[in-house]
Structure 1
Amino acid sequence: MIKNYFKIAVRNLLKHKLHTGINLIGLSLGLGVSILIFFFVQFELSFDNFHSDSDRIFRIKSHELVDGEMQESFSSPMIVESTFRQEFSQIEAITQYISGGVQSILPDESTQSQSFRMVNPDFLEIFGFELLQGDRTTQLRDKYQVVITEETSEKYFGDANPIGKSIRMKMAYEFIDYQVTGLLKNIPANSTLQFEMLMPVENMDFFSDEEGRTSWFSVWGANIAKLRSPDQVTSIHESMNSVMKKALGDDFVEGEFYFTLEPIEGMHFSQSAGNGGLETTNKSLLWILAGIASLVLLIACINFTTMAIGRATSRAKEVGVRKTMGANFGQLILQFLMEAFLTTIIAAVIGVILAELLLPTFNDLFQKELDLVYGPLQLLILFSLVVIITGIAGAYPAFFLSGLRPIKVLKGNLSIHFGKQGLRKGLVAFQFFISFVLVASTLIMVNQMNAITSYDLGFIKDEVIIVEVPDVPSTSFVTSLHESFKKADIYRQALVSRSEVASAAISVATYGDDAYWQVAFPQEDGTQFNFLVNFVAGDYFETMGLELLQGRKLSIDAGSDSSAFIVNEAFANSFNWDDPTAEMIPGTRFDPHEIVGLVKDFHHASLYQPIEPVLIAKAPLPVFSGISNLSIRSSTNPKVLVRSNGADLESFKALLEEEWRKIFPGEAFNFEFMDETIQAQYQADERLGKMVFIAASIAILIASMGLFAMVALSIAGRTKEIGIRKVLGASSWSISWMFNREFLIITLVGVLVALPLSWYLMQNWIEQFAVKEWPSWLSFLLLALGGVVFTGLIVSGQALKATQMNPVKTLKDE
């Protein structure tokens, strides 16, 4: 029986080639995009689930009350590890996780930057990373031993066994040999923790003094604990106050500084500030993409349904004959569902091929390494999609047509007005509604991103190259910064002596790199005044193109203006200063200093964030003398900012590297363009915008094919009416308008509902920007007119073609 259903389904599909082709193209496009997106969503949801004890692993989250506001961070002090290990018996294992990077020597004697993570021996006990060589219980117990991944091993040792071999890395002032004792399988792509090398945490003495390593208010990396039972989290939280009181002594104030435990199951989706530098995914992005995929599939399913309804008259006679011959209701339903199932299966095969072809583009768009692996879960997703589409696309036609009464059908008394008109029009209108929601959303996103790109940031971003200079290691970061600036200034002076260089400066922070130091000092009312600090040298204001409103710039001479500050308008406005150069910072503990200039507000961070008070100085000590809080969230390495005078790009880069080799022999030369770093701040939203644009394009394509088919079916069912109207003197344009009126109304309804809804839906997205710009009403009007014209062209083309037919032939045909 199934074999007969299959044969009949194949014959029907081949008989109606236009109908079948449109369904296949629509479903294949929808499935191709949807397979990519659903597999991507499944991949993202699988992060960190390969750790066998993931339900017992928790990140330690700090909570600190500052000016009445609770600040939370997954970065925590180093002393947490030893304190919690001793105080909480519920903890089975605990490790620190601190990022670091130094120069290392490759086999060809060249140097490169080598990143690593400093951890405790418990790290390999907590996490399920696969150790290919070495004894798991003895790893990371010697300061000068490391564990590396396969990829890192290949970089240093090729195909040779790395165990027992050494890697030379520059720690502090000299290169030190680190012995490889363990080899890890490459870290899975669905791991939030990504690293190349593990190193014992004892190496922190190269990066911080003892006070920084033991203070409760010095933050270094993260702490991660594995409990004996996941149910013990509550008991740890309940005893946290007593532990913190014991640890802090007189500094303890209940509710102002404490820690909680957060499951690592949510680590990959955490959007908390101070997330330990981990690359995470905003979970809302997954639901947006899944929603887009579902909408595109729904449009393709609507095409299937509307065309089945459009062909209801011809299929009704088929149902009548088959029922008269003895076919029952269930058999007819099965027959129609078999046609839908067969179409969907073919579309799924084509969709998989499309997904494979689109995979490189998708990975490039989202900066992922997604691989379409067809395991049990992926096959289940595919099978579910086929079943769901078969049900959505084939259910209504199957049940509707199978329920027709044969007597009425064969006598010609059957009226299926609702099926042919009401529902069909509603579905077509819904298609256009979805399509225009996506198109209008794309318009809003493109307009906003264009506004961001062209926005005046308050400085000149073009023709500026950023060269990061290696720091001079010291356990005191003030000493490290001072010595690093001295070394960087030698490079800067070498550059400005070249005619190709317009100007050069040194800066700790650049736009959007999160390297501005966050500081605060207590005010008379007891509150903290928070602001940002950047340390600079050289001709910083000329190089950046900052506008000085009052006073003067900081001196270029290295030894002068060591106690001078420049503030921005936001800083001055916080204290209602009309002339900041006549003022002093009101904090009572600041060493003698002077504010020598006021700079016009500029955007120090991406346009997601508002402008904050900023202080620019040449030396850290005058700033540090008066502050009570300090937070350094990024690298303290100085950067040399170089502005070209318009020289050829390639020759200019060669010049920079030539001078680099003289000053920093053996050090890796790395640079980036400032305008590219600025644009990189908005990559996530640009990618989402491109995805919405692709989805909108596919949705419009599928909807237009559906409209084309529906117009063709509508005209085919009214050829005699067209012939009679022509005989009675109707013009081609009047007949065309008769068809246009019906579909234009449908389009207008879809557009008019879609535009305000898209405006509403995009409110949350656009609110994340400090600078917002909505499209003008004219843009939306043009979009609506474009939809109407688009529909008119499709309908008019077919209607005018139908009016060219000889009415004698159409009226004689029975």
Structure 2
Amino acid sequence: MFRNYLKIALRNFAKHKVYSVINLGGLTIAITCCLLLGLYVRHEWSFDHFHIKADRLYRAWTQEEYKGDRFSNVSTPYILGPSLKETYPEVEAISRVLVMGLNVKKGADVMSERVHMADPDLFRMFDFPLIHTSGGNPLQELSSVVLTEDIARKYFGSENPVGKTIQMQLDSVMQAYTVTAVAKNIPTNSSIRFGIVVSMAHIKALRSDKTLKNWLNIEPETFVLLREGADPNKLADKYPSLLKTALGDYYTGNNYIINLQPVTDIHLNNELAGGNEPVSNPAYSYILSAIALFLLVIACINFMALSLGRSVSRAQEVGVRKAMGALRSQLMNQFWSEALLMTILAVVLGLVLAVVLLPLFSQLANQELQFRFDGTTLLFLLGLILVVGLVAGSYPALVLSGFRPVEVLKGKISLKGDVSWFRRGLVVLQFSLSVTLIASTVVLNQQLSYLQDKSLGYNKEQMVIVPTGISGSEGRQLVERYRNALTSQKDVVSVGASAFAFASGDWGEVGYTDDKKVYRKFRFNVVDPYFIPTYGVKLVAGRNFDPANSADIFGALIVNQAFVKQYGWKDPLNERLPGKFHDHRVIGVTEDFHYASLHSKVEPLVLLIRPDSLYRHIENINVSSSSAPDIAIRLSAGNLSRKVALLEQTWKRIAPNEPFSFSFVDTDLQRQYQAEQRLSRIVTIASGLSILIACLGLFGLATLAVARRTKEIGVRKVLGASVPDIVGLLSKDFLKLVLVAIVIASPVAWWAMNQWLQDFAYRIDVQWWVFILAGITALLIAFLTVSYQSVKAALMDPVKSLRTE
């Protein structure tokens, strides 16, 4: 029986080549996109699931509350992890993870590398397989270092590096570290991504004992492995006794809370700030899943709409077969077999096309994606075949198979009534989805243009950032030597420095309680006197720092307008911070320049030269990156490559033992919106494909309409109808449906885009003309699609048309 179904299906495909190609082409395009987008979404949702103990692995995070303000931190106190392990038997192991930028020496070359510091249990808790090892715990010794395959190859070539040494500058001098293991390259779906790992025991030489034992100083991420059967919720009930002992009178019962976040929840939970690795907005996964579904629905509608259009011809087939004794179940199986066969062909072609396009899509998505033909993939492909095949073949299987042979053979079957309305409804749904995607594309691109063009309150052009990698007095001295060496260069306009560069992440944040018991917090940056003129930040009151004035160096503050507003100062100049900061005074006020991305509002900010006395009076400090100064160099316009080479030559002359690296400020700022840029490109491509698939179906329906009305067209031409009259007659019905689709899609797209824009503190307003533009685009494309068949029919010789009929 199946062989017979297959034979009839192949004959139908061969007999109706145009409709078969339209259906197959639409389904193939949709399935290709569905596979690629599904691969990306699967990758996003698979983060950290590869760890065998993933169900017992957690990241600790804390909440602090003071005077109604609540602060959430994924950076934790150094003492938190050891305290949890020592106090609670439910905790099997802990590992703190800290990321630092260190200098690593290879021969005569010194390079800056991202180095992780971790506790010895890291490799027992997480599944990072070791391909070379000297045995035992690879981080047990102070001088041990673990490398990944790529880093090992970079420094040791193809030889096994275990037992060999590598030079790293962990503090002020280069030291030798012995390679104890080589780990496989870390999967891209991991929330811990290292290249070099050293022991956390080194932290004792880098941080004071007071800092390491202070529950209010936060820096590393802390990961916790619970024992089997341990309940994190019951464990949470025990934390207050530990906190009461650790914090004393500061702890009031709910002002300091310890939480455990499952590691599998880290990547797609943007309610918490990102830790050492960036997190992803889960909304983007939902959006891409919806786009994949949209394309599949549009392709299935094509199949069903063309089946509706061919109802009359297929009804005659049904009538003859029923008259010959065929059962309705047999006819249903026949129609579904045709749909499933078409879907299988589309899935095979779509899979081949997806594999070919995967490198391009991986580049577009900025992910290292690859097909894994495992059980999940095969189950997904099987489900795709069944769902698409059954949905696409539902109309012919359920409706056509129910026609009565007597009525069919008498020619009483037509497309009027419910069937005609159903076909129109399918076309409206199809174009509603397409118009939604077109309008969304316009809004996405408008917002991105706004982000790129909005004035940030400083000049980002021709600006180069050179990180020093050295903190403290040595870093400041290096800045001065480099500035002095560049001053005589005519291509260098200005040189400034700051602890945190633009687009390098959140600037430092401090919090303290003033003399009126009010908790205050603000952002800060440690700068030099040349920072403001180098970046072109505008002062609205007061003056800049004076490098010759020692009072400015140790006690002057420059604040932004948001700071003045929060503190309620009418005349901020010479004001002092409320509380114990008697040795600080405000000498200037800047405009509210955007030191962070436009996702967040400008917060109160303090600029100062030496933070030492400030640190003495604050209670909380949160720093997400190294405080080693970054040097900002403004270059004159033209021939940037030659000028960057000049910067490198100068650097190697004054700091031969330090690595030279650089970045452009405008390029760094662009990276802040990479996720939005990728989404915009994907939605743009998807909207184009949706229109293409929809127009394929419209082309097929127009072809059927022309075929059914050949005699009418011939009669009208004989009676004097012109070509425009015929084109208008055949096009108006389809264009009315597209107009209805525009009316339906516009409020849906407006709501969806307004929801997406809420993620930006600074955003555009969705304009009404966006939907007019999307509608005109859809109408024009639909008209051109239908007009091809309409003009062709209008130009046909009416005598030939009537003779054919």
Secondary structure of 1:168's counterpart equals strand
Name 2:169's counterpart in structure 1: 170
Structure 2: distance between partners of 1:225 and 1:26: 49
Name 2:261's counterpart in structure 1: 262
1:671 aligns with 2:670: no
* Conservation of the 8 A alpha-carbon contact between 1:295 and 1:434: yes
The residue identity in structure 1 corresponding to 2:595 is: H
1:494 aligns with 2:493: no
Structure 1: distance between partners of 2:211 and 2:246: 16
Name 1:20's counterpart in structure 2: 20
Deviations, residues 119-173 of structure 1 (Å, cap 9, x unaligned): 2222222122222333664332111112222222222222222221111111212
Deviations, residues 416-468 of structure 1 (Å, cap 9, x unaligned): 42465211111011111000000111111111111111111111111111111
Q: Quote the offset at 1:526 in angstroms.
A: 2.3
Secondary structure of 1:55's counterpart equals helix
Deviations, residues 35-66 of structure 1 (Å, cap 9, x unaligned): 01112222222222222222122221212113
Distance of aligned partners of 1:577 and 1:245 in 2 relative to their CA distance in 1, 3 Å threshold: closer
Q: Quote the offset at 1:661 in angstroms.
A: 0.3
Name 1:616's counterpart in structure 2: 607
Structure 2: distance between partners of 1:211 and 1:742: 79
Structure 2: distance between partners of 1:117 and 1:229: 28
Deviations, residues 151-197 of structure 1 (Å, cap 9, x unaligned): 22222222222221111111212111111222322222332211122
Secondary structure of 1:407's counterpart equals helix
The residue identity in structure 2 corresponding to 1:566 is: I
Structure 2: distance between partners of 1:804 and 1:89: 87
Secondary structure of 2:267's counterpart equals helix
Distance of aligned partners of 1:454 and 1:294 in 2 relative to their CA distance in 1, 3 Å threshold: same
Secondary structure of 2:115's counterpart equals strand
Q: Quote the offset at 1:652 in angstroms.
A: 0.5
* Conservation of the 8 A alpha-carbon contact between 1:590 and 1:625: no
Distance of aligned partners of 1:652 and 1:526 in 2 relative to their CA distance in 1, 3 Å threshold: same
Unaligned residue ranges in structure 2 (runs of 5+): none
* More deviation, 273-282/632-641: 273-282
Q: Quote the offset at 1:776 in angstroms.
A: 3.0
Distance of aligned partners of 1:604 and 1:144 in 2 relative to their CA distance in 1, 3 Å threshold: same
Structure 2: distance between partners of 1:545 and 1:374: 55
Structure 2: distance between partners of 1:808 and 1:493: 92
1:526 aligns with 2:517: yes
The residue identity in structure 1 corresponding to 2:768 is: W
Distance of aligned partners of 1:232 and 1:788 in 2 relative to their CA distance in 1, 3 Å threshold: closer
Structure 1 residues 93-492: aligned runs within 5 Å = 93-106=93-106, 108-134=107-133, 137-418=136-417, 421-472=420-471, 480=472, 482-492=473-483
1:575 aligns with 2:574: no
* Conservation of the 8 A alpha-carbon contact between 2:148 and 2:196: yes
* More deviation, 409-418/129-138: 129-138
Structure 2: distance between partners of 1:785 and 1:57: 53
Name 1:477's counterpart in structure 2: none
Deviations, residues 534-570 of structure 1 (Å, cap 9, x unaligned): 1211422221111122222212448562122222111
Deviations, residues 598-618 of structure 1 (Å, cap 9, x unaligned): 222211111111111112111
* More deviation, 443-452/733-742: 733-742
Q: Quote the offset at 1:498 in angstroms.
A: 0.7
Distance of aligned partners of 1:114 and 1:305 in 2 relative to their CA distance in 1, 3 Å threshold: same
* More deviation, 694-703/419-428: 419-428
Q: Quote the offset at 1:525 in angstroms.
A: 4.2
Structure 1: distance between partners of 2:58 and 2:790: 66
Structure 1: distance between partners of 2:61 and 2:229: 16
TM-score normalised according to structure 2 size: 0.96
The residue identity in structure 2 corresponding to 1:54 is: A
1:629 aligns with 2:654: no
Deviations, residues 377-429 of structure 1 (Å, cap 9, x unaligned): 11221121111110111111122111111111111122342465211111011
* Conservation of the 8 A alpha-carbon contact between 1:312 and 1:420: no
Secondary structure of 1:537's counterpart equals coil
Structure 2: distance between partners of 1:226 and 1:25: 51
Deviations, residues 567-593 of structure 1 (Å, cap 9, x unaligned): 211122223334322x32242311423
Distance of aligned partners of 1:801 and 1:419 in 2 relative to their CA distance in 1, 3 Å threshold: farther
* More deviation, 727-736/706-715: 727-736
The residue identity in structure 1 corresponding to 2:681 is: K
Name 1:475's counterpart in structure 2: none
Q: Quote the offset at 1:341 in angstroms.
A: 1.6
Identical residues among aligned pairs (%): 35
Q: Quote the offset at 1:515 in angstroms.
A: 4.7
Deviations, residues 188-220 of structure 1 (Å, cap 9, x unaligned): 233221112222210112421211112111212
Structure 1: distance between partners of 2:71 and 2:585: 32
Distance of aligned partners of 1:101 and 1:553 in 2 relative to their CA distance in 1, 3 Å threshold: closer
Structure 1: distance between partners of 2:65 and 2:340: 60
* More deviation, 80-89/149-158: 149-158
Within the candidate set 718, 721, 727, 2:718 is matched to: 727
Structure 1: distance between partners of 2:642 and 2:790: 63
* More deviation, 524-533/310-319: 524-533
Structure 1: distance between partners of 2:17 and 2:516: 80
Structure 2: distance between partners of 1:123 and 1:728: 87
Structure 2: distance between partners of 1:467 and 1:235: 49
Structure 2: distance between partners of 1:183 and 1:803: 74
* Conservation of the 8 A alpha-carbon contact between 2:510 and 2:621: yes
Deviations, residues 787-812 of structure 1 (Å, cap 9, x unaligned): 32332233233222212222222222
Q: Quote the offset at 1:103 in angstroms.
A: 0.9
Name 2:37's counterpart in structure 1: 37
Secondary structure of 2:494's counterpart equals strand
Q: Quote the offset at 1:750 in angstroms.
A: 0.3
* Conservation of the 8 A alpha-carbon contact between 2:51 and 2:127: yes
Structure 1: distance between partners of 2:172 and 2:604: 36
Structure 1: distance between partners of 2:40 and 2:774: 31
Structure 1: distance between partners of 2:313 and 2:22: 19
Q: Quote the offset at 1:714 in angstroms.
A: 0.7
Unaligned residue ranges in structure 1 (runs of 5+): 473-479
Structure 1: distance between partners of 2:290 and 2:785: 28
Q: Quote the offset at 1:496 in angstroms.
A: 2.0
Structure 1: distance between partners of 2:135 and 2:75: 27
The residue identity in structure 1 corresponding to 2:781 is: F
Structure 2: distance between partners of 1:770 and 1:757: 22
* Conservation of the 8 A alpha-carbon contact between 1:73 and 1:272: no
Structure 2: distance between partners of 1:186 and 1:792: 53
* Conservation of the 8 A alpha-carbon contact between 1:566 and 1:615: yes
Secondary structure of 1:383's counterpart equals helix
Structure 1 residues 40-79: aligned runs within 5 Å = 40-79=40-79
Distance of aligned partners of 1:202 and 1:461 in 2 relative to their CA distance in 1, 3 Å threshold: same
* Conservation of the 8 A alpha-carbon contact between 1:489 and 1:538: no
Distance of aligned partners of 1:560 and 1:647 in 2 relative to their CA distance in 1, 3 Å threshold: farther
The residue identity in structure 2 corresponding to 1:24 is: L
1:700 aligns with 2:691: yes
* Conservation of the 8 A alpha-carbon contact between 1:447 and 1:775: no
* Conservation of the 8 A alpha-carbon contact between 2:318 and 2:400: yes
Structure 1: distance between partners of 2:791 and 2:366: 48
Structure 2: distance between partners of 1:487 and 1:591: 31
The residue identity in structure 1 corresponding to 2:175 is: I
TM-score normalised according to structure 1 size: 0.95
* Conservation of the 8 A alpha-carbon contact between 1:448 and 1:774: no
Structure 2: distance between partners of 1:677 and 1:102: 21
Name 1:566's counterpart in structure 2: 558
* Conservation of the 8 A alpha-carbon contact between 1:309 and 1:424: yes
Q: CA RMSD in A?
A: 1.9
Q: Quote the offset at 1:775 in angstroms.
A: 4.3
Structure 2: distance between partners of 1:531 and 1:509: 15
